[in-house]
Amino acid sequence: MRNLKLYYKEECPFCKKVIQYMKRKNISNVEMMDIKADPKNQEDLIRLGGKDQVPMLLIDGEPLYESGDIIQWFKDNYEQE
């Protein structure tokens, strides 16, 4: 099973788009990393991905940005029916 972490902040509309998609598709084994709730999450976001941009899905240590690309990755790799 892949190690998945989604770095996000609640007020981000692009983050909400990804989270809503995950809820609709019952994608649940993604560790949710709120960068506003814990400063360490924001530090990790920058350290692991190289930039302060959300949403960022960390897939086995590899960053993926852009809500559309993240949703497409879930469609291609992880949909649960």
Evaluate whether residue 2 is within a structural domain.
Answer: no
Consecutive H or E run containing 56 = strand 56-59
> Domain range holding 34?
29-67
What is the pLDDT at residue 78?
A: 74
Evaluate whether residue 35 is within a structural domain.
Answer: yes
In which residue ranges of the chain is pLDDT below 70? 1, 79-81
Evaluate whether residue 42 is within a structural domain.
Answer: yes
| H-only helix segments in 1-81 | 13-24, 39-49, 67-77
Nearest to 2 by CA among 65, 61, 55: 61
Contact 8, 64 (CB under 8 A): no
Evaluate whether residue 16 is within a structural domain.
Answer: no
- Predicted structure pTM score: 0.92
> What's the structural domain count of the chain?
1
Give the CA radius of gyration of the chain: 12
Evaluate whether residue 45 is within a structural domain.
Answer: yes
